[in-house]
Structure 1
Amino acid sequence: MRHEQMEVWQRSKRLSVDVYRELRGLRDFGFKDQITRSALSIPSNIAEGFERFTEREKFRFVSIAKGSCGEFATQALIGIEVGYIPDEIGQQWRSEAMALSRMLGSLLKSLSNSSRLS
């Protein structure tokens, strides 16, 4: 299956686009760079994993994408608390990041059960 066909990739790409659009005017470039990188990392690592040759490599990159979900959710919370992100938007992002994390967790479980991973 191509990564573009996967719901988790489509949703994570949409989240990344939303983050870039919402924060385009933010002048705290350090924060903006960090949160956009973590959001961008989710679909990017899914794509990279599915372009790799082995199941082990695929597992590794999907695992990195899952970690980026946690990183992004934390940064969204901080962004809300410092006033960079409106509460409603930030909570939607956090909710989506946690949903993506669960989806990636299921994918990782499926990959780890694959006989080709060992």
Structure 2
Amino acid sequence: MSHSPHTSIKVDEETALNMVPGSADPQKDLTTAAKNCSGAAACCGDKHHRRLAICSIICGISCIGIKALINSVKAEEEPDREASGRFSQRAKRLGIISIATWLAILALTPLLMALFSYVVTLRD
């Protein structure tokens, strides 16, 4: 077996891993990661409201959340800034509506059960 120069591996070299897939600039990756990981304000950098849409699928009415996610993807894909802004605002509005509706259902269900129980006891 011959030893070719293409199979040799240098172990002593260190290669920095990029934090953002598809990016080749390590300095840009560090600044982007620092901007995105700023505590409670981490969701504010999501200009197309993708995180809100995903949260609304998980923690809200999922069919409204899916519509929010579709609008978020359309906002990112749209080349026109005005149309992208409309899709982004619609995604935000649908995400909030999805979560608020789910919270209202969770809060109103025990109240309606108590009211129903009260009405049934009055009837007897």
Fold match, TM over 0.5? no
Q: Which has the higher helix share?
A: 1
* TM-score normalised by structure 1 residue count: 0.43
Higher relative contact order (CA 8 A, sep 6+): 1
